[in-house]
Amino acid sequence: MNDLIQIIFLSIIQGITEFLPISSSAHLIFIPKLFKWEYQGILFDVSMHFGSLLAIIYYYIKYNSEFINLDSTKNYIGFKKIIIGSIPVLFFGFFFHDYIANNLRSIEIIGISTIFVAILLIIVEFFKEDSKNINNISNLDIFIIGLLQATSLIPGTSRSAVIILGALMLGYNKKSAIIITLILSVPVILIAMLYEIYSINYFSINSNLIFKTFISIIISFLVSYIVIKYFISYINKIGFYPFMIYRLILGTILLYFFI
């Protein structure tokens, strides 16, 4: 059922889940199965991710964030560190994309990875040191975080969750972990979009499809922006435990009712 209601609903889900540590890919896989919807199509995948990408860019332009600096000689996250942190996921994504798409998109895999990562994050947050902030990030640290980001290619792990996991393990505070997640999301989302654009059948595009695509971009952008803004603002107060509890419940439900 590839209608407007489905597109709106999935765009909202994309906006909510892309930057929270609860796995957007897991939700975009099991929710259509839950409602027995047909696959929404590559064009809408691109538009939803594009909306989220625009939200990150707008957030940094609006708040003139100090956390990303084009001068890589300073100890912020410059282009050099962004590239170092992105290489692992792009490498494994390039060589294992088809295998992952054909073999790891099952509800069982999603359920297991959802629970497993939640348990790891609960343990790490409990024992974390909180001694570093993003201004102290090194090339080695960003590469280690990038290696963990590569595991997010497995549906259900969540790119945000594994980056946060890596940052906390290395001693970074919660806010820095979130900022690292947002910054490293830009090249990943951009490359994923370009790959999906390459796969689009442009002969199937019509005015109705363009309208739905535009709606999808707008909704994903607005919801993603709200999530980014308030997640960063309140993460020190709420912590990650509520999201991990949600993951544990979600993973259990998926394994119990859908396999």
Contact yes or no for 13/24 (Cβ under 8 A): yes
Q: Which of 151, 191, 186 is nearest to 79 (CA)?
A: 186
Mean local confidence (pLDDT), 59-78: 65
What ranges do the domains of the chain cover?
A: 4-257
Place of tokens 């509890």: 245
Q: Using alpha carbons, list the distances in angstroms from residue 169 to 104, 125, 173.
A: 26, 8, 10
Q: What are the b/e assignments for 51-64, b being 16+ CB within 10 Å?
A: bbbbbbeebbeeee
pLDDT at 78 over 90: no
**pLDDT value at residue 19:** 93
Q: Where are the alpha helices (DSSP H) in the chain?
A: 4-17, 24-35, 42-63, 79-103, 107-127, 139-150, 159-169, 174-199, 207-238, 241-257
**pLDDT value at residue 64:** 59
Question: What number of residues does the chain have?
Answer: 259
Q: What is the DSSP letter of 22?
A: T
**pLDDT value at residue 244:** 95
Confirm whether pTM is higher than 0.85: yes
For the chain, percent of residues with pLDDT exceeding 90: 55
Handedness of CA 232, 237, 240, 243 (dihedral sign): negative
Q: Which helix (H) or strand (E) holds 39?
A: none
**pLDDT value at residue 161:** 96
Q: Using alpha carbons, list the distances in angstroms from residue 165 to 180, 252, 256.
A: 11, 21, 26
The 10s digit of each residue's pLDDT in 27-40 is 988 898 888 888 77
Contact yes or no for 222/1 (Cβ under 8 A): no
Higher pLDDT residue, 226 or 66? 226
